[in-house]
Structure 1
Amino acid sequence: MKEAIAYYRVSTQRQGRSGLGLEAQQAAIASYCQFHDYDLLDEVIEVKSTRKQQSRLLEALEQCRLLNASLIVARLDRLGRDVEKIARLIKSDVEIIVTDNPHATRFTIHILAAVAEEQRQRIRENTKDALAAARKRGVVLGKNGKRLARQNQQAAQAFARQLLPVIQKLRNQGITTFRGIAEELNHQGVPTFRGNAHWHVSTVFALIHRLPK
């Protein structure tokens, strides 16, 4: 039996106490270990903001080195949202397993991290452009601007939840890669959140990472 150490990250103390987000990560990792014959040696929980150093992640990696175990996370964004940080992690001698994309190689993980960072940058730029356009129309911003950004994010998350049954059905059919899901959504003629007629790997990645953790 192979051995692994689980790493979970929640963003706030409230989430850490309540289990919000944590339970979903634990369930995903437990299911993966059960079906892929992994013995979970330890569970490391990080309760910190993404802006702070993830010291417990470093501890988990060190444990993996000492025990010759793999590091397993439920989702790529649990490792962090900075592509340079993730690039450093995957260059280490510890095998990293991401349960929502189990076939991802080190190269793939690096690419997906870059795609996610690019997606976040586009969202920030789109929000900035929308606010600038609103100012030109004479709209008084401040709280209104923050509300606009929040409503846009909520709408994107609602759209992702609507497509959740479709994504689950595709996964049950054995279509688990971002590229495979994109191709099938295009085949079914499902529009993207922006109303585009074509899905890409990056839009599927963004959709799945808006789903409830």
Structure 2
Amino acid sequence: MLPAIAYYRVSTDRQGKSGLGLEAQQIAVRQYCSLNNYHLVSDVIEIKSTRKHRSGLSEAMELCRQNRATLIVARLDRLGRDVEQIASVVKSKIKIVVADNPHANELTIHILAAVAQDQRRRISETTKEALAAARKRGVELGKNGKCLSVANRKAADEFASQLSPLIMKFRKRGIISIRAVSQELNRKGVPTFRKGGKWHPTTVYTLINRLNKQQINHITYQSHAKHK
């Protein structure tokens, strides 16, 4: 089997401890490895990294050199948020595999990074323009947005709870992988949270992460209750 080093990055310490975002990355990488004859020698989890200081990524790259291993990430944006960051990794001559786009080579990785960076810039500009226009109309920003965000989060949590028994049934039947779960949900005609859409691996990632968070909160609550 081919040696591989997994690199996972989460944005905050809270996400790192709770597993939010992390488990989805781990599932994607492990599934890719199992299907493509890779053996995970080690993995590195980066928490609260900055654009300039990525000690975890440096550690993962050094492990790749020592073990003559491939660096595997779940998504391209885990390597970096701009072209310069990703280019520096590509120039290191370490073989890189992006689990959700495994056929990407050095050239396409550069292109995808450039496109993603441009999209983020355009979204940022559009958002700023929309906010400026809203302020000119006298709209009070912040308060209503926070209320809507809380309402949406609560509705999404309730939706995930309703699907929890079905997901457990899938697991008992051996339907475990994210892709298999999304296919089964579509086969059964189970509606998505937004209604009218189809299930994709990314939406299943979100669902599973939300259920995992609920489970963690439930365990924490029980632990506190016992110590009262």
TM range (shorter): 0.5 to 0.7
Q: Corresponding residue for 1:162?
A: none
Please give the secondary structure, in 1, of the residue aligned with 2:103. Answer: coil
Please give the secondary structure, in 2, of the residue aligned with 1:14. Answer: helix
Q: How many residues were matched structurally?
A: 160
Please give the secondary structure, in 2, of the residue aligned with 1:72. Answer: strand
Residue identity matched to 2:40:
L
Whether 1:82 aligns to 2:71 is no
How far 1:138 sits from its partner (Å)? 2.8
Q: In 2, are the aligned partners of 1:8 and 1:44 still within 8 Å (CA)?
A: yes
Provide the rounded CA distance (Å) in 1 between the counterparts of 2:18 and 2:138.
Answer: 43
Q: Corresponding residue for 1:15?
A: 15
Give runs of aligned pairs for residues 39-54 of structure 1, distance below 5 A: 39-51=39-51, 53-54=53-54
Residue identity matched to 1:60:
A
Provide the rounded CA distance (Å) in 2 between the counterparts of 1:46 and 1:109.
Answer: 21
Question: Cα RMSD (Å) of the superposition?
Answer: 2.8
Please give the secondary structure, in 1, of the residue aligned with 2:124. Answer: helix
How far 1:55 sits from its partner (Å)? 0.6
Provide the rounded CA distance (Å) in 2 between the counterparts of 1:59 and 1:99.
Answer: 20
TM-score by length of 2: 0.62
Taking every aligned residue pair, what percent have the same amino acid on both sides?
A: 60
Gaps of 5+ in 2: 157-178, 184-201, 210-228
Q: In 2, are the aligned partners of 1:9 and 1:78 still within 8 Å (CA)?
A: yes
Whether 1:126 aligns to 2:126 is yes
Please give the secondary structure, in 2, of the residue aligned with 1:6. Answer: strand
Gaps of 5+ in 1: 159-167, 173-207
Which is worse superposed, 7-16 or 128-137?
A: 128-137
How far 1:16 sits from its partner (Å)? 1.3
Provide the rounded CA distance (Å) in 1 between the counterparts of 2:99 and 2:64.
Answer: 17
How far 1:133 sits from its partner (Å)? 1.4
TM-score by length of 1: 0.66
Please give the secondary structure, in 2, of the residue aligned with 1:42. Answer: strand
Provide the rounded CA distance (Å) in 1 between the counterparts of 2:86 and 2:6.
Answer: 17
Which is worse superposed, 117-126 or 50-59?
A: 50-59
Provide the rounded CA distance (Å) in 1 between the counterparts of 2:24 and 2:133.
Answer: 39
Provide, for residues 34-86 of structure 1, a one-character-per-residue CA deviation record: whole Å limited to 9, x for no partner. 11001111011111144451111011101111211110001111112121110
Give runs of aligned pairs for residues 75-154 of structure 1, distance below 5 A: 75-141=75-141, 143=142, 147=145
Provide the rounded CA distance (Å) in 2 between the counterparts of 1:20 and 1:66.
Answer: 30
